[in-house]
Amino acid sequence: MERLGIISGTIALQEKGVLLDPEEKWVETEFGRALVLVTANIAFLPRHGRDPKRHILPHLINHPANLSALKSLGVREVIGINSTGSLRLKHKPGTLVVPDDFIMLNPGPTVFSSKPVHITPTLSKEVRERWIDAARGCALDVVDGGIYWQTTGPRFETKAEIMVMSQAADLVGMTMASEAIVARELDMAYASLCSVDNYAHGLEDKELTMEKILWRARRNAESIVQIVKSYIERRQA
């Protein structure tokens, strides 16, 4: 069976028992090198690196290197776990969403430099369905569908920006669309489970801080780990 690729940020899957005795590999690609934790069935890529003192900020992530590294390890199916802000009051912090589309108006990453290649970006229908089935198998609620708006980061968005985004999208984040686009360019199936860790700037009166976002992300982590384990078990069955 081909390895399943997993990309995540703040959730330490190794500590949660998802990865058993992984081999740490630095994989060299034409776009740079990427750190991957590898087992027989899984290739896990820590999106922001493993060193908390050298946290890779969203706008500095080398997505072409990351996805190329996964593909070189035999990965053809990638699941992303992404922290997001809610653009809708109905999507409260703690909600889990499997988006079905995204918006990224700023120039994004690409593996193409000279060839006139034009892909049609999509999120994999099959991988989305597997996310939803895995969650339901754990008796956990997920929202089926939604639009993710990617900003560049690393700053948060202004209230005016959020007002505009909320007219078209449900979630805001800094990484998922880039991963989805590069995965598509490399002919890899990709879809994401998004953790709503905060209301976007201006949706509530409380100040938006990184500490609050990380607190909520940790609260959501247990549910996400259950779903990831279910996803892996169903894939291997």
pLDDT digits (tens, 9 = 90+) for 137-192: 999 999 999 999 999 989 989 999 999 999 999 999 999 999 999 999 999 999 99
- Residues with Cβ within 8 Å of 219's Cβ and at least 6 positions away in sequence, in order, are 94
111-133: average pLDDT: 91
Torsion angle of C-alpha atoms 11, 14, 15, 17, degrees rounded to 10: 110
pTM of the model: 0.92
Q: Are strands 147-150 and 42-46 parallel, antiparallel or unpaired?
A: unpaired
Burial class, 193, CB count within 10 angstroms (exposed 0-12 / middle 13-18 / buried 19+): buried
Express each pLDDT in 88-99 by its tens digit. Answer: 999 999 999 999
Q: Where are the domains of the chain?
A: 4-236
Which CATH number is 4-236's, of 3.40.190.10, 3.40.50.300, 3.40.50.2300, 3.40.50.1580? 3.40.50.1580
- Angle separating helix axes 125-137 and 210-236, nearest 10 degrees: 100
Give which of 226, 122, 127 is closest to 179, Cα–Cα. Answer: 122
Q: How confident is the model at residue 12 (pLDDT cuts 50, 70, 90)?
A: low
The DSSP call for residue 47 is T
74-86: average pLDDT: 96
**SS3 call for 40:** coil
Distance CA 181, CA 109 (A): 8
42-49: average pLDDT: 93
Distance CA 75, CA 188 (A): 8
CB 22 within 8 A of CB 44: yes
pLDDT at 10: 64
Which residues on adjacent β-strands are paired with residue 177?
none
Burial state string for 156-167 with b = 16 or more CB within 10 A and e = fewer than 16: bbeeebbeebbe
pLDDT at 212: 64
The DSSP call for residue 136 is H
Give which of 35, 55, 53, 52 is closest to 44, Cα–Cα. Answer: 35
To the nearest whole number, what is the mean pLDDT of the chain? Answer: 90
188-214: average pLDDT: 82
Is the predicted pLDDT of residue 11 greater than 70, yes or no?
no
Q: How confident is the model at residue 209 (pLDDT cuts 50, 70, 90)?
A: low
